[in-house]
Chain A
Amino acid sequence: MRLTMRLLPALMFLSICSFAQNGTGKIKGVVMDDSGDEALTGATLIIEELKIGETAGKDGDFSFSGLKASTYTVSVDYMGYVAQSKKVTVTAGQTSQVNFYMKAEPLSLAQAVVLGKSEARKVREQAMPVSVISMKQLQGTVSDVQGILAKTVGVTVRSSGGVGSASRLSVRGLEGKRIGFFIDEAPMNDQSDFIDLNDIPVDMIDRIEIYKGVVPAKFGGSSMGGAVNIVLKEYPDHYADVSYSRESFNMNQAQTVFKRNLREAGIVFGIGGGYTDAENSYTMESPYVKGLKIRRDHDRFRKTLFGGSLKARKWWFDKVEFEPAFVHTYKEVQGIETDIRKAHTTSSMFVISNKLEKDDFFIEGLDLDMSSAVAYSEACLVDTAKVWYDWVGNSYPTSSIYGGELGNRFASDSKNIKKTFVNKLNLEYLINSHNSVSINSVVTLANGSPSDPMKEKSLGKKTDFDSRMRSWVGGLTHDFRAAGDKFLNSLTARYYWYSTKTKYQNVYTNTPAEDISINKSSLGFSDAMRYRITPAFMAKLSGGYDVRIPAENELLGNGYTIIPSEKLLPERNMSINAGLLYDVAGTHPSNLQVELSGYYMYLKDMIRFAKGILGAQYQNFGEMRTLGAELEVKADIFPFLYGYGNVTYQDLRDVREKEEGSNLPNPTKGKRMPNIPYFIANAGLEFHKENLFGGKDQNTRFFADMAFVEEYLYDFEITDDVKRRIPRNTTIDLGFEHSFLYQRLFISGKIKNVTDAKVLSEFNQPLPGRSFGIKLRYIFR
């Protein structure tokens, strides 16, 4: 759009000046995509020497007349395609023909930004509170999705170590399963965990949408605090992308994607994969022993990911898509209190998903959007070492004769098999140009079969049992859109149901295992509205009463580190969100976006993760209130300099009147909820310039990102001298990216945590200091 914006005034001016001339010739032609199948209506053409312009018509046709005999340079520009120029010689009284066949260029910097922005803008202008990370922000800045999300207003990502370590995504202070995770709107973690955020190569992502508070009904499920939807890129006909990156602490990663578009048959197929191997061998300061430096030497992470895709556009449905995927991970357990040398986890997951889309599905105005996935996964923990070590190198026998160096008092050699089916159905009926209704449904079936013979031997009893969980969330939504898009309203009612069957064995007793059968249902509703005050200035208001049913692994544990909590109640959230959005992206050279949001949440029976004597467990936490405000500013400060900044303040407080299960006053009433950051800020600058160092078809970008998290406490602030805290963190990342051959060959590098600051985002879990990375990427197209 930038180019278009620059050209338009010139076109308007020059077209007024142009008039019929004698002794002249003509240029005419068509603008098509490079397959020759698609006319590029609206493509902008300009004769550089004369500064006169034209727009391609319905069939891609254009013409310039009244041209003096001469040789001219005709340039053509179209969103998403590589711009072209051709020399054309005009002879008096004749017509010169020139046709342009343009190659799709989704990764061309300037145009990709326009594409990203136009889509992003549409999403941002929905009635729900949403942040959109466009392709521009995605390119090059950091290596993984988590890193990108962490810099988004209202979002925190808390890691416990290096690559592949456990991490938690939190939106407005709420985290875990209540944050929905979707890829192209297909649920990935509704009741089970198909895939990790970082499994998706950043290079494949078109944009990331982050919904906060009220989540659109089309996402179904029971996302409560928010949802992250990753939208993957559409690829040109022929496409291959190969990349390799290497980072400090011996991290190596290779990724590749191949796509082929058979336009005639309406079929697109692709295959991709990635391999990551990270030693994570950074040195950390022991949080337990003063002055002790520990080099992490048992933190290796390996991940293999294969995926395929077959998309058909002519099989009665508008789109039929099948995507098989396989993921395997191996992760060593790094000790911090003790020197763990053997324990590790492995997991394998096979999934095949299907997506069907059809407009006017049997009835005119009825649109179908359905996705289904079947997954089989195995998660294993091996903890059978018979000795454990302190950091001096002394060895000690494990508590159990069967081994177990993780300090659990029992050995483990577990295999936790899970079979999951998820179906999401969205039927939308357009009543008229202002009203539509939609029905949403998400069905999840999850069967778990854990086994751990070593744990059973150690404990002398079986404590993990087969489980079966069924859930359905149904929704009915009415959308109203006033004339001129002035006002939007989206009203949704939802019904939630789930049932669980399993057994529970009290670890302390030898009484027979108890049958657990839970069957619960609830209702929820939400309403979101948006009013457009001026074309660029909008106000948003939304509110809702949502219910989130506990996820399967919250209820039943994960077979090793999380113990069952089968009596967990659904959590309920009442929220009100208000926001103001000023957005001239795509309509003004500054592309300025300013968004200010405020929100209130009242969460009951909050499901909270807590570590206890016998392991970690999810538990209900009475009542909690949140007040929050977010401010985000993004803009092209100069044509070559993009900047962003955001500030998040989220004040989560305990509002329980009474101590649980008693009539005693709650000693933590009014106190800030522990272990949740409350003040976060991010800022960044990105400089970009074409051919900065001479040459041609090159582009250079430099970027600097800063993240700041204010100190917060691991516990309620009961005394003046709270010791357990997560210190204030400030990190600065720097990087560059240089592309050659018109965005085909990329070399990028980065320095994370430039100041080598001591960083924690989980209590007593030191993160890496300064690190370096370099990446090489080539795109064939």
Chain B
Amino acid sequence: MNVKNSWRLIALSAMMLASASCGKDDSDDPAPDKLFGGEGNVLIETTVKNSDGASGQSYLQQIPQISSSVNMSQGIQIGFSATISTVGNDVFVFPEFGTAGKQSIVKYEHTPKGLKLAGEMQIIPNSYPVNLTKISEDKAYVPMYNLGKVLVINPKTLEKTGEIDLTEYAFNDSSADPAQGLLHDGYYYLPFDQIGANWMPYDEYRQVDVAVIDASSDKVVKVISEKASGLCFPTRPFLKDMIFVNEQGDIYVACAGYFGYNPEYVKSGFACISASKKEFDESKTWDISDTPIEGCDYKPATIYNCKYIGNGKVAAYVGVIELMGDNPYTARNSMAVMIDLNKKTIKKIEGVPYTDGHSVVIEYHGGEVLFSSFGVDKAGIFAYNPATEAVSHLMASSVNIAYLHFFE
């Protein structure tokens, strides 16, 4: 080897060392006033899933309006299928399934020009805080699914101010799996999913439990149970509208049952709580699994999501056993329907494609019901007009839209 070659080799080594020393700034701390997530008054969460459907990546961003297609370049990366809660202009982002990724709740503040990082709160790892319900200006409840407790926080400062222990109500394990709650008339109604190791209800405990909590004292007034209907799994914890109040003040709790994965047990539907009595009203509780879906030959085997739009009408995604595939996370087994709670009818909405579990958002905005759907040929946001029953494809997307919110 001649001297020239020797120097070349040495130079190569030196270059590598030099290049290595010019490290990137790995800091995650942004400038305080930096805005993220793009401009607009519409907040969406998108998910790009892996082929197994059980893993992938999700993004939070703002868009000006629901139209044409989604550009994700401005998206803020969040945990895969992370839950979002919004209160006014505050946006709370929860950890990925509570057990992976960053163990914190991150708060952003919405501005039309972008989202501003407004705080971060460390959580107990693996506790699965899953949603936030505002109780007052300085109090919010955050159910911790895996711990069976409710974290009481100040949503302004993201400080813990208390805790409501619900572990005594757990069946056969340490957590009653508190899901999506609703504040009504000073009481916080918090359903328990009561699931086993396989994330499904215990076969020997098919009932609906709801804790009634006095929101002023943070005390559990009682836990009410509905056992007659056989309904179970009341509310999915990351979907905010599966518990709602109608014009008469009755609280309806949508129950997913076994998500249609147990063909031998498909009971699912709505458990009704009379708010005045704070007890279940069995006459209004409805197992929808025996009701044919108008417009097709199927019956529902579960409710994946729903949105009450008034007058006893509920826009929903129901699961159909005949559409189940091999993979529960990718099967397009969800059908958009309109449910009439008064008439106890279910009608298929034609024009909204069957979707998978990552696109089941339903919002009611501007007199139209907006469904996110991830169909075989079309995906994005579909608008259904309840008056005309017409459906239009408002926004195209090649990724799942997992959350949708309109800021006032």
Contacts and interface: CB of A to CB of B under 8 A. Distances in A.
Interface of A: 288-290, 337-338, 388, 390-391, 394, 396-401, 407-410, 458-461, 506-511, 567, 588-592, 608, 610-614, 617, 619-622, 633, 635-638, 643, 645, 647, 659-668, 681, 683-685, 706, 708, 711, 715-716, 718-724, 727-728, 730, 732
Nearest to A643: B9
Contacts of A507: 198
Contacts of A720: 73-74
21 contacts: A288-B101, A288-B102, A289-B103, A337-B125, A401-B172, A409-B199, A459-B198, A590-B2, A591-B1, A613-B329, A637-B6, A643-B10, A647-B16, A660-B51, A662-B375, A664-B377, A683-B17, A721-B77, A724-B77, A727-B24, A728-B23
A388 B126 contact: yes
Contacts of B326: 567
B399 A667 contact: yes
B146 interface: yes
A501 B89 CA distance: 56
Given A399-B146, A401-B172, A668-B48, 15 more contacts: A338-B126, A459-B197, A460-B197, A511-B264, A590-B1, A590-B2, A591-B1, A592-B1, A613-B199, A614-B54, A636-B1, A645-B13, A715-B48, A715-B57, A730-B17
Closest 7 CB pairs of A and B: A612-B54, A590-B1, A730-B20, A397-B174, A683-B13, A410-B197, A508-B261
B376 interface: yes
A503 B56 CA distance: 28
Nearest to B12: A645
B75 interface: yes
Interface string B104-126: 10000000000000000010111
A458 B174 CA distance: 13
Contacts of B67: none
Contacts of B147: 396
Given A612-B55, A728-B23, A666 B196 contact: no
A610 B173 contact: no
A508 B259 contact: yes
B79 to A, nearest CB: 9
B73 A719 contact: yes
Q: Is the interface of B mostly helix, strand, loop or mixed?
A: loop
B51 A708 contact: no
B75 A721 contact: yes
B275 interface: no
Nearest to A409: B197
B24 A711 contact: yes
A721 B76 contact: yes
B76 A719 contact: yes
A27 B126 CA distance: 84
B263 interface: yes
Nearest to A588: B1
Contacts of A723: 28, 76-77
B122 A289 contact: yes
A660 B330 contact: yes
Contacts of B164: none
Specify which of B9, B19, B264, B378 lies most central, judged by the most chain A CB atoms within 10 Å of its CB.
B9
Given A399-B174, A620-B51, A721-B75, A645 B258 contact: no
A338 B125 contact: yes
B175 A399 contact: yes
Contacts of A289: 103-104, 122, 125
B190 to A, nearest CB: 19
Given A719-B75, A728-B23, A510 B376 contact: no
B379 interface: yes
A290 B103 CA distance: 10
Nearest to A730: B20
Contacts of A388: 126
A761 to B, nearest CB: 15
A608 B20 CA distance: 30
Contact of B77 (A511, A614, A719, A728): A719
Residue among B10, B56, B57, B100 having the largest count of chain A Cβ atoms under 10 Å: B57
Nearest to A461: B198
Contact of A288 (B20, B125, B167, B374): B125
Contacts of A591: 1
A394 B149 CA distance: 15
B168 to A, nearest CB: 12
Interface centre among B330, B374, B399 (most CB of A within 10 A): B399
Interface in B142-194: 146-147, 167, 172-175
Interface in B20-67: 20-21, 23-24, 26, 28, 36, 48, 50-57, 59, 61
B203 interface: yes
A688 to B, nearest CB: 16
Contacts of B100: 337, 611
A685 B379 CA distance: 56
A399 B199 CA distance: 11
Nearest to B22: A728
B265 to A, nearest CB: 8
B388 interface: no
B5 interface: yes
Contacts of A509: 200, 258, 261-264
A611 B97 CA distance: 12
A721 B36 contact: yes
Nearest to B204: A460
Contacts of A638: 6
Contacts of B291: none
A619 B97 CA distance: 21
A507 B197 CA distance: 9
A723 to B, nearest CB: 4
B385 interface: no
Contacts of B124: 390, 394, 396
Contacts of A715: 48, 56-57, 77
Which has the most chain A C-beta neighbours within 10 Å: B72, B197, B375?
B197
A613 B378 CA distance: 27
Contacts of B16: 645, 647, 681, 683, 706, 708
B404 to A, nearest CB: 18
B57 A718 contact: yes
B328 interface: yes
A614 B200 CA distance: 12
B274 interface: no
B392 interface: no
B246 interface: no
A706 B13 contact: yes
A510 B203 contact: yes
Nearest to B29: A290
Contact of A508 (B19, B167, B174, B328): B328
B229 interface: no
B345 to A, nearest CB: 29
A661 B49 CA distance: 12
Nearest to B75: A719
A591 B1 CA distance: 8
A621 B56 CA distance: 13
A15 B36 CA distance: 83
B290 to A, nearest CB: 20
B263 to A, nearest CB: 7
B54 A708 contact: no
Given A592-B5, A664-B379, A716 B330 contact: no
Contact of A400 (B52, B55, B103, B197): B197
Contacts of B12: 633, 645, 683
A67 B86 CA distance: 102
B68 interface: no
B21 A730 contact: yes
Contacts of B173: 399-401
A454 to B, nearest CB: 10
Contacts of A647: 16
A619 B50 contact: yes
Contacts of A613: 54-55, 97, 199, 329
Nearest to A292: B122
Nearest to A660: B51
A711 B76 CA distance: 19
